[in-house]
Structure 1
């Protein structure tokens, strides 16, 4: 019977033990109350069955907040899974620009200017203090320097005195870059606050930054004030590869669903046990607090200046800057799962057989 088959599929939302005990009873009730000729459950019936089954999986019928705890846990773990998949998908990117590439773009954008021979290239897609990440980097990453794990880039600067005024150089670069197929963003101007005390804002140095993108390459040119050794600095790096978004979305959805199922199992197994709620609360605080703070900071940062590509997902989650907090939270979660694995020892009535 088609309707019964559809109902059985929807009842899979309930735990196996619950289906074994009450599944046939619920199915019979649904079939008895269904109008004659119906072949599929209504959308409302499907929603109610799925919602009821998911809530039943969580156990703790007296709790009014267990659903929120499950949602917060599944969401943050889904985001962590998505960021891991995004990092793996970054390996599909081309290597960071080399000396020849940045020199060619410099000559294309700034004719008549001379490039300094001291060009720094990135040894890897992502670097830690401009070096590939190694096991020796683990301690500084965990204890304060995690923010130095960043996407690599090629860095160069113009040599000698500026051959023409900054405004003319900027206008020429914009024109030539657009002609060469670059998407050129509106230049940004930043007033550098170098005064220890109050001073005339008009006397403070100003930096102008030009950002452009072509294909998978981003270009940033910064016009420095006279206090720098060079009047013009350049940076080039790859933008986010196309594989990152689908990989992150699929992995995030899978991670969130799996986390929800594990949470539901652990919730039923640990009902009535002390200390479980405290472990979960600590883990979620250590995971969510850096994510919320980092998201607020990066959001305002993105609004303040042009970005050819968004910062990687893990930076929005506060990683690896707050990786130590993440590991402590993971340890709390692992302890909670260990508690869930320990068999319950519910008291059973003791029956004494008389002589």
Structure 2
């Protein structure tokens, strides 16, 4: 039996302790009283037998409080002494009860050689019971049945049920730990989602601001009106980013795919990149936000990493494909934003593909038709 985990919450321990005390402790106390009443015929019989019964009750109460280790050895010693005294002095076949209760519960504290401890427990009960033959030799069958067989069998049965009960607690403990881990993972996933969304907002905006300021600097001396227009748009973009950041902090932010497409077109055209948008069908609302995030991240990557001359954006009911040229690297760059998005798309049942072939780079996010909620083959313009 394993020790209880410190992660096993106090509230759960408290509930299980109360459950044990209410359902199991009264029958245990009742059994101890009945055994004393049955076997004790004089006051000194009570004096001899009572410590064993008390040791069993105390051990059980401490077991429910996960504090048995502190009292296991004293209770076991007391109960172990009561059993032979009951056999030899009183002729009590039930004096083993305290040793049986304490021993079966104390097995949880044994880390090594548990089989040896089990054997010792059962052997002690049987051997002490057989000692009755020293004072009652005329009825061997009765002694073997009453003082050896019955106590040993009942000790085995009690031990088995105790082990099963501890396994039950282990199961509850594992379920509680699993629930705690799931809660922790949910917090981690939410933090990752928040960081990803914040990266989408801030990273995209900062790159666009850099691009517009550079354009405004070029226009400043030859076209002040155009430069002023770019600066005003930059100011508006920063203001919008602040608003989006607040919405993100309060879990109110929703991406608009149509707005993201217009924004991507404007950015590409401002950078001198030809862009073509093809809508094969209306995008399902349940996938549009994630597709918008893919488009936003891909737009930022194209402006940052490629020397693109043209970009093709294709939309279907449940997918988006962005293809751009102007890729100069021999290997795909490390795009951390898309790596995080791949996990989010996969979490919603989709697949994010990133491929590079010659000077062309493809980014595609595809969700199954069932995810989009539209029958395959339906075409809307």
Higher helix share: 2
> Shared fold by TM > 0.5?
no
Q: Which has the larger radius of gyration?
A: 2
TM-score, normalised on structure 2? 0.26
Higher RCO, 1 or 2 (CA under 8 Å, sep at least 6)? 1
TM-score w.r.t. length of structure 1: 0.27
